[in-house]
Amino acid sequence: MEDLKKIIREVPDFPKKGILFYDITTLLYDPQAFRRVIDILAERYQPLKPHKIVAIDARGFIFGGALADRMGVGLAPVRKKGKLPWQTVKASYELEYGVDEVHMHKDAVAKAEKVVIVDDLLATGGTAHAAIELVEQCGGEVLECAFIIELDFLHGREKLKPIPAFSILRYDQ
């Protein structure tokens, strides 16, 4: 996986001073690297036979859409407030200075459907935890949450328990 890490651009002081931002756009520029990421995810989740991939706004859509297509399953988007045109379920999560919420169409996941939640990055776990809540409100079952990058030092996977988490690349600082 070190070869994939070398492709990720590290941007210091973005979006604010003191933050080291892991930019996945450089991975997207590289078709072999992008294909490898989707291969890794598909090999992991094909045996679990999920009914849908639930992808988190916005970069999760890139990986979730490609994975859903590769696996031949549906895609259910989790969006920020005010972005979906029909009836939704909602879940809130904490930000550094306040609270935000995500929404999903209430018919995006049917009762007893098994899903994998996909996003580009696991940091504190707030958004992924909210996505788990959305799936559960619809009566679905989350098999696992998948991420391209995990920032171990923020302990986000603790917030997802008992749902397991899988990350292709992990950083401890």
DSSP state of 23: E
Of the listed 59, 70, 79, 170, which one is catalytic? 59
Contacts of 34 (CB under 8 A, 6+ apart): 27, 28, 66
Q: Does the pLDDT value for residue 53 go beyond 80?
A: yes
**Taking the CB of residue 140, how many other CB atoms lie within 10 A of it?**
24
Examine the residue annotation and report whether 36 is marked as an active-site residue of this protein.
no
For residue 7, which of 147, 167, 15, 29 has the smallest C-alpha distance? 29
The rounded mean pLDDT for the chain is: 96
Residue 149 lies in a domain: yes
Structural domain of 60: 49-171
**């919420």: which residue's tokens?**
101
pLDDT band at 97 (very low <50, low <70, confident <90, very high): confident
Residue 16 lies in a domain: no
| CATH number of the domain where residue 69 is located | 3.40.50.2020
Number of domains comprising the chain? 1
Taking only the tens place, the pLDDT of each residue in 60-89 is 999 999 999 999 999 999 999 999 999 999
Strand order in the sheet with 141-151: 88-95, 98-105, 74-80, 52-56, 114-122, 141-151, 165-171
Alpha helices in the chain (DSSP H): 2-7, 25-29, 31-45, 59-71, 126-137, 156-160
DSSP state of 171: E
Q: Does the pLDDT value for residue 164 go beyond 80?
A: yes
pLDDT band at 98 (very low <50, low <70, confident <90, very high): confident
Residue 138 lies in a domain: yes
Residue 8 lies in a domain: no
Of the listed 10, 79, 94, 96, which one is catalytic? 96
In this prediction, residues 147-165 reach a mean pLDDT of: 97
Residue 59 lies in a domain: yes
Residue 2 lies in a domain: no
Examine the residue annotation and report whether 141 is marked as an active-site residue of this protein.
no
Quote the pTM value: 0.96
Residue 40 lies in a domain: no
